[in-house]
Amino acid sequence: MNIHKILANWVVFAGFIVIPCIPFIVMGKSTFFPYIVGKNFAFRVIVEVMFSAWLVLVYIDPAYRPKKSYLLGAFGTLLFVVTLSAIFGENPTKSFWSNFERMEGVVTYFHLFAYFVVASTVLTVRNLWRSFLQFNLGVSLIMGIYALSQISGQAVGFRASGTLGNSSYLGIYAFFNIFLAVFFIGGENINTYKGKIRAITYALIAILQTYVLYHTGTRGAILGLIVAVGISAILVAIFEKEKKAFRVWAIGGLITLVALVGIFVSVRNTSFVKETPLLARFSEISISTLPTNARFMIWNMAYQGFREHPLLGWGMENFNYVFNKYYDPNMWGQEQWFDRAHNVFFDWLIAGGIFALLAYLSLFGFAVYYIWRPTTLLSVLEKSILTGLLGGYFFQNLFVFDNLTSLIYFGTILAYVESLRQRDQAPEKKLVKKGKSKEEDFTVIVSGGAILLACVLVYTVNYNGFMQNTTLIRAMSDRSGAENNLALFKQAIAYNSFGTAEAREQLGQISTDGFGHSGTVSDIQKQFIVLAANELGKQAAELPRDARYQIFEGSFLVRVGAIDQGIGYINRAIELSPKKQSMYFELGNAYYRKKDLVKAEEAFKHAYELAPAYAEAKKYYIEILTTEGKTAEEKKVSEE
C-alpha cells in the first residue's frame, strides 16, 4: 500500500479517536469561557488536520471521494445560504467567527461539513462505522459516571452538567447516547450468548444515560426522548411484519408511555410533584401560560425579525439585533442580552431566512428518506430507532439551541446515514499503477501540500483567536500590577480577532471599578479610562446599529464624567432598542447626574409605563418623583 495513503489514514483515524473525547476538554482558569473555548478550538484544529489528510486519500484512491447525494447537496446548500447571509448581514465578522461564549458561526459549520464529508467517506470505505459508534458510546460511559459523581451528595434539585458546563448540553449528549445504545441493542442477536451479553451491556449504558438525562432537568431533551420513543414504537408497530414479538413490545411500550404521561398530567398539581424540583419543572409546562412565557416572547421577537428579512435573514450570530429592536418590555425579569431564540428553527430563520430553514429541514427529510430506502441494509427496528432519534432531536430543538456537542453528534448521525446510501452503490474501480510514474511523484507534492494546508488552516483559523482569549483572561486576573494588566489588555485587543469586542467590554468594566469612591483617580486608572473610552468608542463606531455597544459606550462616558457625550450614545441605543427599560434607566441616571430632573423624570416615567409590573422601574420612578417633591404623583404611582 502507498506509504502516503497509510500515513493519511492514520492521521484521519487519530482524529476519529480524539473527537469523541472533545466534550471532556475544560481549560480551567487559563481561558475565557473555559467550557466552550477549549472544545471548539480542539474541534477546529482536529478537523482541519483530518480534512487535509483526507485530501491525500481522495487523490490516491477514488473510493474516498464523496458521491453525489441529496444529503450532501442539502448540507452544501445550507453552507452557501448562511455564507451569503453572513456577507450581507448586520455583522459579517461575528456571523463568520461568532464570539468566545458561543464559538459557532459560519466557520464552525464549515468545519462540521468537512467532518461530515470525511466521516461519511473514510469510515465507510474502511468499514469502521460500528467500531466508531461503539467507541463514542464507551466514551459516553465515562461522562455518565462523572455525572453520577456530581449528582451524588448534591442537594435535591441539583442539575448535572458533567464537563460540558451546562445542564442542557449534557442533556442532549445523554439523549444521543441513549439512542446509540438502543440502536446497538436493535442490531444484536439475543438468541446467542455473546449477543445477549452485548445487549445487556448496551441496556445498562442506556439506563445510566437516562438517569443522567433526568438529573440534568432539561425539559427539551427529556420531552425529546419521550417523543423519540413514541416515534420509534409507532414505526415498529406499523412496519414490522416479520418479527411479531417486536410489534407486540412496541405497542405495549407505546401504551405504557401514554399511560405514564397521562398519570403525570393527572398528578402534576400534587404536593409530591411540586416538592420534587426536577418533576416540578415539567409540571410548570402549560399552554395557558405561553403568552407570559419568556421563550414565547422571544419566539415572537424572532418572528418579527423574520418578517423584516424573510429571504436571507440577518446573518448568523445576529439575533441580538432582532432581540433589541423588537424587545418585549414584559421580558424585564429575564436576561437583557439574549443572543439566541431558544428555538433552533427560529434561529435559522434569523441566521439565513426561509432558505436556510428549508435547507436545514431538508437534512432531516433526506436522512429519513435514506434510512427507509428499501435497499438500506438495516432492520425495521434499527430504521425505527434511528428515525426516532432524529425525531426526538428535532422536537427538542423547538425549545433549545444547538451547541458544539450536539452539532458533532448530529453531524455523525448524518454521516452514518450518508454511509448507508453509499453502501448501496458499487465502488469505483481503482486503476492499478505499475512502477514509478510522474503521477506517483505528484503524490509527494499532494502530501506536502496537505501538510502545508493543515499548518496554514490551524494558524490562520485559530492562533490569533486563541492567543487573544488567553491574553484576555490574564489581563482580567493577573495580580502582578495594574501596569501589567493594562499592557495585557492592549495586547489582547491588538490581536484583532473575534474576541476584540469582548476584550473592550471587559476593559470598560474594569476601568471604572471603584471609580469615584476615593474622590481621586490615579495615573494608571486614568490610562485605563482613556484606553477604554477610545476602544469602546471604536466598537460603537464599527457597529453603529448594535444597541449593546452604543449603551456600553454611553454608560461608560457618563460614569467618567463625560455626561453630554454619553447621553448622545444612550439616545442612539434607545433608537435601536426603543422598548428596553434598562436603556431608559441609563438615560435617567445620566440626566440625574447632570441635575436635569425634568428629563430624568421623563426617562424613568417612560421605563415605568412600558411595563408597570416591573418593580425596579417603579422604584426609579417613585424615587425621582420624591426628589422633585411631587408627593401626589408619587402616592398615586405607589398605590398602582
How is domain 499-577 classified at the architecture level of CATH? Answer: Alpha Horseshoe (1.25)
Task: Please tell me the distance from the alpha carbon of residue 396 to that of residue 29, in angstroms, as a whole number.
Answer: 32
What pLDDT was estimated at residue 434?
46
Please name which of 505, 423, 381 lies closest in space to residue 101, comparing C-alpha atoms.
505
Q: Which triple of cell numbers denotes residue 27?
A: 481549560
Burial 556-574 (b: 16+ CB within 10 A, else e): bbbbbebbeebbebbebbb
Q: Is the pLDDT score of 206 beyond 80?
A: yes
Which pLDDT value is given to residue 292? 63
* pLDDT for position 519: 57
pLDDT of residue 432: 45
Of 19-33, 155-169, 277-291, the poorest mean pLDDT is in 277-291
Q: Supply the pLDDT for residue 287.
A: 62
Q: Higher-confidence residue: 389 or 190?
A: 389
Q: Once rounded to an integer, what is the mean pLDDT over residues 24-28?
A: 92
Q: What is the mean pLDDT of residues 452-470?
A: 96
Is the pLDDT assigned to residue 215 strictly greater than 80? yes
Pick the residue with more confidence: 431 or 167? 167
Of all residues in the chain, the percent with pLDDT exceeding 70 is 95
pLDDT at 31 over 70: yes
What percentage of residues in the chain have a pLDDT greater than 90? 74
Confidence check: pLDDT of 389 > 90: yes
Q: Is the pLDDT of residue 427 over 70?
A: no
**What average pLDDT does this structure show over 526-531?**
93
- Does pLDDT of 425 surpass 60? no
pLDDT classification of 191: cutoffs 50, 70, 90: confident
Q: Are 589 and 609 in contact (CB under 8 A)?
A: no
Residues 288 and 576: their CA atoms lie apart, in Å, by: 32
Residue 356 C-beta-side C-alpha neighbours within 13 Å: 29
pLDDT over 90 (residue 440): no
At residue 154, the pLDDT reads 79
Query: What pLDDT was estimated at residue 171?
Result: 95
Return the pLDDT at 286.
Answer: 64
Per-residue pLDDT at 509 exceeds 70: yes
Q: Picking from 3-7, 269-273, 276-280, 297-301, which range would have the lowest pLDDT averaged per residue?
A: 276-280
Range with the lowest mean pLDDT among 265-274, 341-350, 364-373, 598-607?
A: 265-274
Q: What is the rounded CA–CA span in Å between residue 164 and residue 172? A: 11
How does the average pLDDT of the chain come out, rounded? 91
Residues contacting 76, CB < 8 A, separation 6+: 113
| Region 580-640: CATH code | 1.25.40.10
- Asked whether the predicted pLDDT for residue 253 surpasses 90, the reply is no
Kindly indicate the confidence band of residue 431, based on its pLDDT and cuts at 50, 70 and 90: very low
Query: Which residue would you say has higher pLDDT here, 433 or 486?
Result: 486
pLDDT-derived band at 278, boundaries 50, 70, 90: confident
Q: Which three cell numbers stand for residue 617?
A: 422601574
**Res 443: pLDDT:** 87
Query: Is 293's pLDDT higher than 90?
Result: no
- Dist. CA 401–CA 202, nearest whole Å: 28
Q: What is the mean pLDDT of residues 160-171?
A: 94
**For the chain, where do the domains classified as CATH 1.25.40.10 start and end?**
580-640
Most confident by average pLDDT, 109-123, 368-382, 518-532 = 109-123
Q: Is a pLDDT exceeding 60 seen at residue 516?
A: no
Average pLDDT of span 20-38: 93
**541 class by beta-carbon count within 10 Å (0-12 exposed, 13-18 middle, 19+ buried):** exposed
What mean pLDDT comes out for the span 498-517?
84
Average pLDDT over residues 624-633: 90
Of 16, 2, 111, 116, nearest to 66 (Cα)?
116
Q: What pLDDT shows up at residue 376? A: 84
Whether the per-residue pLDDT at 197 is higher than 80: the answer is: yes
Residue 10 has which C-alpha cell? 492514520
Number of other CB atoms surrounding residue 32 within 10 Å: 26
The contacts found for 146-149 with CB under 8 angstroms, 24 or more apart, are 147/174, 147/212, 147/215, 148/208, 148/211, 148/212
Q: What does the pLDDT read at residue 467?
A: 97
Nearest CA-CA partner of 447 in 52, 76, 47, 170 = 52
Average pLDDT over residues 584-589: 96
Please check the confidence at residue 168 and state whether its pLDDT lies above 60. Answer: yes
Residue 384 has pLDDT above 60, yes or no: yes
